Amino acid sequence: MERKFNAFKGERRSGGPKKFASPRPKQSSLIIGRQPVMEALSSGKPIERIYMLRSATGDIIPQIKEKAALGNIPINVVPVEKLNGLTQANHQGVIALTGQVSYLDLQDVISHVIDQGETPLFLILDGITDVRNIGAIARSAVCCGAQAIIIPDKGIAALNEEAMKSSAGALEKIAICRVNSLLKAIDTLHLNGIKVLSSEMETEIKLYDCDLREPVAVIMGSEDKGVYPALIKASDVLFRIPMAGNFESFNVSVAAGIILYEAMKQRS
């Protein structure tokens, strides 16, 4: 998929009680100061998010906010202790965290996939906060022929170096669309004739009874909360993955792999 998208350039985790601390961003991944952040935004440099001091004022602050909004880049309003914890340099109340991937416009990706004569197969990630799960999902998506992953700008793990490593590079080979509203993204999908499916344990429809040969986007929710109710309501089809035993559920990345493989099997 990497070759196809070059034109665009321009939970819980099982396995024991061991805890993993969030790594501190490398200094090289930070853009420090108001003017450097503004220049990065203006040049289109991939930015994961911006940390801004609560009391930040000045003429350039509204410009940074406006540019960030246009690029669907989240701004985290934080106390000075957070910024001081990221760097000892003079941050002027603004620090940006550079992104590991370039985000693409959802409509552009849909149009490109259709123009290529392909049938859309997208994933929507809702509330998945474990970067290793996201990496594993991306790897399965590429292996099974999905063209895009849609993520919200908040409430999801950052696509950082750990996510990239977990994906074995798959996050660089698939279109990633970051949106400020998953509900609006669903509206865009519907307008383009793409059905939206969600996993729901109580429904009678089984995964293999769904027609995954047609244009579809599948919502994957967090393991503890599942898919957000409003997204369930906006979905066209609710299905479940049958299980042999009476156990809680599949890990979200495993579930995504099962769904994607079923789609690939139906389309082959």
- Please state whether the predicted TM-score (pTM) of the whole model is above 0.85: no
Residue 25 pLDDT class (50, 70, 90 cuts): low
pLDDT at 8 exceeding the cut of 80: no
Query: pLDDT digit string (tens) for 144-162?
Result: 999 999 999 888 887 877 8
pLDDT at 182 exceeding the cut of 60: yes
Mean pLDDT value across residues 165-176 = 90
Of the two residues 21 and 198, the one the predictor is more confident about is 198
Mean pLDDT value across residues 149-178 = 88
pLDDT at 161 (0 to 100): 76
Q: Do 37 and 94 form a contact (C-beta atoms < 8 A)?
A: yes
Query: pLDDT digit string (tens) for 190-214?
Result: 999 999 999 888 889 999 999 999 9
Q: Do 109 and 217 form a contact (C-beta atoms < 8 A)?
A: no
Estimate the crossing angle of helix 60-70 against helix 34-43, to 10 degrees.
30
CA angle, 126 then 102 then 65, to 5°? 80
What is the rounded average pLDDT for all residues in the chain?
87
pLDDT at 241 exceeding the cut of 60: yes
Q: What are phi and psi of 263, to 5 degrees?
A: -65, -45
pLDDT at 190 (0 to 100): 98
Q: Is the dihedral of CA 251, 12, 19, 101 positive or negative?
A: positive
Query: pLDDT digit string (tens) for 62-78?
Result: 999 999 998 888 999 99
In this prediction, what percent of the chain has a pLDDT beyond 90?
66
Query: Poorest-confidence range of 2-6, 75-79, 118-122, 182-186?
Result: 2-6
Nearest in space to 183 (alpha carbons), one of 244, 120, 217, 230:
230
